[in-house]
Amino acid sequence: VTELVDRLEAQILEASPALARLLSPLGRRAAFPPDIPFQAAQAQGTTFNGTIGQITDGAGRPVPLPSLARGLEGLEVSLRDRALLYSPVPGFPELRASWRRRQRRGVSDDRPSTTPLVTVGLTHGLALVADLFGGEDRPIAVPSPFWGNYRQTFELRTGARIVSAPAYVDGRYNCDAMAQALADEPPGRPAVAILNLPSNPGGYSLTRDERGRVIDSLVAVADQRPLLVVCDDAYAGLVYEEAIPSAPVFWDLVGRHPNLVPVKIDGATKEVSFFGGRVGFVTFPFEPGSEVEAALESKLKCLVRAGVGSPVAASQALLLAALENEDLDSEVEAIRLELGRRYRALRDALAGIDRELVSPLPFNSGCFALLELAARAGVTSEALRRHLLDHHDTGVVAIAPRFVRVALCSVAERSLPELVERLMTGVSELAAR
Amino acid sequence: VTELVDRLEAQILEASPALARLLSPLGRRAAFPPDIPFQAAQAQGTTFNGTIGQITDGAGRPVPLPSLARGLEGLEVSLRDRALLYSPVPGFPELRASWRRRQRRGVSDDRPSTTPLVTVGLTHGLALVADLFGGEDRPIAVPSPFWGNYRQTFELRTGARIVSAPAYVDGRYNCDAMAQALADEPPGRPAVAILNLPSNPGGYSLTRDERGRVIDSLVAVADQRPLLVVCDDAYAGLVYEEAIPSAPVFWDLVGRHPNLVPVKIDGATKEVSFFGGRVGFVTFPFEPGSEVEAALESKLKCLVRAGVGSPVAASQALLLAALENEDLDSEVEAIRLELGRRYRALRDALAGIDRELVSPLPFNSGCFALLELAARAGVTSEALRRHLLDHHDTGVVAIAPRFVRVALCSVAERSLPELVERLMTGVSELAAR
């Protein structure tokens, strides 16, 4: 195993010295061991295959319990069979290939990307990246406010250290937030930055001009230190303004600077509205079939197996069937159009509110809008949240100290003006106390 | 959060000082934060609920993509809806209640057990327990040979230290293996033991007499130190000999000694032949509704959220439908009977082999049989595995140095004699070299 670990590290070093320096201690020692899944993969196709601990008919097909298989009746038999058996550790090969084609629509051939590895939803992809590249005292730059779970995934689990700078300054997106967050780190110290666009909780995507400025800012950081940019593309494609580019920033970062390695985390959760399926993907900016791809895949497979055994075959079968359906794109587009209507309803409702009490931060995409309660109103977001629950039959998410997140994705278009009205009534009531 | 962490630790200490001492540093600091899922749970049922980032129709129902939902056509509409949306972090309440009833069939009321928390398959349950109770230098006792993934899950991920003693001595199960493995640890040092019965790779369950001796041995360890006994019940119920008790040993350990805390890891993977679903459960020996249950659940929910977001709703919906079907028990029994036939076919085929070359270790349950190559034959299991792949169209799993695992669960009854014959031919060919 030590030999295998050394070989993987040499392969990563060869392709990207920066990435090798970014590995955490756990990332360094992770390697897919040559045990049962490895041996079972080698034995695939043998007539007398007694390798793998799943119950089959002796010819590789499941022995499905009818009361379980019935729920999957809508899948063709071969996919239903696969839904019931273990998935390969890196995921179904056709699903990985299919998702890769989908990711690369409109992307030029000179931007390499690995065959995406399947994870148990996007959080699992983030956790795997945290395991590989987080660890004790590693700085993780995230513009603030950010999705709170980054703290658990990177900091609590691995001992990394989240560093932050405001995502908005003077009511506009702060393109230098990540560079500012890392400004105090000694030059040369490897760092991680999390780029989540469309953002949660902000619902924000970059304008063309801002996109250039964010990239320049990250490249300047990479002049100073190895930098892993985690592109959390959970909300990819959910963009509602014509002028806003919707292609993931990941592709603009591929090959931009030898010290800057982007990694793409995306998946079916929001892109295909399959929240309950837990299918995500991790993609690196390297050629499929390359040694560095295999080395990273060995490490990821080791951690997938150690943490969850294998990804969810049932959900992969359902997703694969959907991706093979030619209606899928128009179904996804219909969701985007519906969310676009909600976005406009919310934007319009917020246009008329009292800015002395509440400022909407700019939003144009994704699932959320972020509001900032005016300091002078003296209302915390947590007090407002409880007040809205208790007295106005309304739920919002409070982000300390004075941010409020509204999920437009879970409120009907017609209800959004009323939600805004109740929220403003609540703020007024509390401010008047 | 510090306040919450302190409160959880006090609640665990109150119920079980041994368990509090067993917590790892990560286990100590884990606590479900009052962020989005917490706030969304509080907002459930509000008319204007803008808390949660999943796309719904505005009234809590999903906006399913037809090409995705079609695969789940066999589920009734309300379950299909839930399959597409996020699961609560600890799992579907009805599924947890239903699994608990199933676990407790024939168990007396004086053996408390928590409401099981849903995990992404059994490995995830093991990984959560490793996070809570493993950590740097914690001894983890496992009889050898053992399922190799314990090493990744406990040692690689958390820095714990696997200690081992032979599972078989003189061709019989070694009831003192875990005590022997821990014999060199200083008294008072907390330890973890993994009790996997029916075993992998052994396919072994304890006789009534051995069960008593294993329990006595573990109780003697608990006189010396806080001891967490991880009951890996993956193969629960798959027992093929009348004389062998099939109820999980977990229940015999509940309340046996104040220093001995058993935790049950089980799930649908093997028990309901749902390998591809990834539904497992973690259960502690405490009353449902107790403070200690809530404290442990807060820690587990924190780690579930940090690592995978939430468990798989689609698989939970499928499993819940199966559990609600009155045919399920007879379907599960039909699988047990089929595996019993394979067990007898394999046992009979092994009865006639040359013991000078290969000794079958005792087996009576589960999915496997374990064979030991005689030292004097000079054949390693890895050499045999490759030889069988290359020359005999046969796959087995090699466990260093001289163990071979045969998975009877994936070979047809009629093929097992042929598999044994090919295996013996392979051994003879290699031994003759």
Please tell me which residue of chain B has the smallest CA distance to A32. B152
Task: Give the closest-approach CA distance of A257 to chain B in angstroms.
Answer: 30
At a CB cut-off of 8 Å and minimum separation 6, what does A15 contact?
A286, A290, A291, A292
Q: Is the pLDDT at B399 greater than 80, yes or no? A: yes
Query: B411: nearest CA in chain A?
Result: A58
ipTM of model over 0.85: yes
- Give residues 339 to 358 of A whose Cβ lies within 8 Å of B: 339
**Rounded mean pLDDT, A269-294:** 97
- B381–A contact, CB cutoff 8 A: no
pLDDT classification of A233: cutoffs 50, 70, 90? very high
> Touching check for B74 and chain A: CB below 8 Å?
yes
Contact status, residue B120 vs residue B350, Cβ threshold 8 Å: no
Average pLDDT, rounded, for chain A: 96
Contact A394 B277 (CB under 8 A): no
How do residues B205-243 score in pLDDT, each as one tens digit? 999 999 999 999 999 999 999 999 999 999 999 999 999
State the pLDDT confidence band at B104, using cuts at 50, 70 and 90. Answer: very high
Name the maximum alpha-carbon separation found in chain B.
78
Averaged pLDDT for residues A206-223: 98
Q: Is the pLDDT of residue A234 over 80?
A: yes
The alpha carbon of residue B85 is apart from the nearest alpha carbon of chain A, in Å, by 4
Which pLDDT score is estimated for B122?
Answer: 98
Chain A interface disruption, residue of B308, B320, B424, most A CBs within 10 A:
B308
Question: Per DSSP, what are the bridge partners of residue B126?
Answer: none
Which neighbouring-strand residues pair with A265? Answer: A232, A282
Closest chain B residue to A422, measured at CA: B48
- Residue A60 has what pLDDT? 85
Asked if residues A366 and A205 have their Cβ atoms less than 8 Å apart, the reply is yes
pLDDT of B372 > 80? The answer is yes
Mutation for testing the B interface, residue in A308, A341, A390, A421 having most B CBs under 10 Å: A308
Query: Closest Cα of chain B to A256: distance in Å?
Result: 30
Q: What is the pLDDT of residues B42-81, one digit of tens each?
A: 998 899 999 988 999 988 899 989 999 999 999 999 999 9
Three-state DSSP class for residue B417? helix
The model carries a pTM of: 0.97
Instruction: Render pLDDT for A176-201 as a digit per residue (tens, 0 to 9).
Output: 999 999 999 999 999 999 999 999 99
Residue B129 scores a pLDDT above 90: yes
Chain A interface includes B319 (CB < 8 A) = yes
Q: B-contacting residues of A 95-114, CB under 8 Å?
A: none
Q: Which helix (H) or strand (E) holds B370?
A: strand B368-373
* Model confidence band, residue A36 (pLDDT cutoffs 50, 70, 90): confident
Q: Band the pLDDT of A33: cuts 50, 70, 90.
A: confident
pLDDT tens for A361-386 read 999 999 999 999 999 999 999 999 99
Asked if B322 reaches chain A (Cβ–Cβ under 8 Å), the answer is yes
pLDDT for A253 beyond 80: yes
pLDDT, tens digit, for every residue of B92-101? 999 999 999 9
The candidate with the shortest Cα–Cα distance to A206, out of A363, A372, A368, A340, is: A363
Residues of B in contact with A157 (CB under 8 A): 26, 131, 303, 306-307
Q: What is the pLDDT of residue B36?
A: 84
Mean per-residue pLDDT for B259-282? 97
Q: Which residue of B has its CA nearest to A72?
A: B72
Contact A39/B391 with Cβ under 8 angstroms? no
Establish if A397 touches chain B: CB-CB under 8 angstroms.
yes
Q: Which residue of B has its CA nearest to A394?
A: B48
Contact B215, B256 (CB under 8 A): yes
Q: Which residues 13-42 of A have a C-beta within 8 angstroms of B?
A: 26, 29-30, 33, 35-36, 39-40, 42
B67 vs A321: CB contact, 8 Å cut-off?
yes
Record: contact B67-A322, CB cut-off 8 A: yes
| Closest residue, chain B, to A327 (C-alpha) | B67
B303:A157 CB<8 A: yes
Partner-chain residue, chosen from A72, A152, A270, that has the shortest CB–CB distance to B33: A152
| Residue A300 near residue A108 (C-beta atoms within 8 A) | no
Structure tokens at A412: 């009907």
Residue A71 sits at the chain B interface (C-beta within 8 Å): yes
Asked if A276 lies within 8 A of B338 by C-beta distance, the reply is: no
* A36/B149 CB distance under 8 A: yes
User: Per-residue pLDDT tens for B409-425?
Assistant: 999 999 999 999 999 99
B78 at the A interface (CB within 8 A)?
Answer: no
Query: SS3 of B423, please?
Result: helix
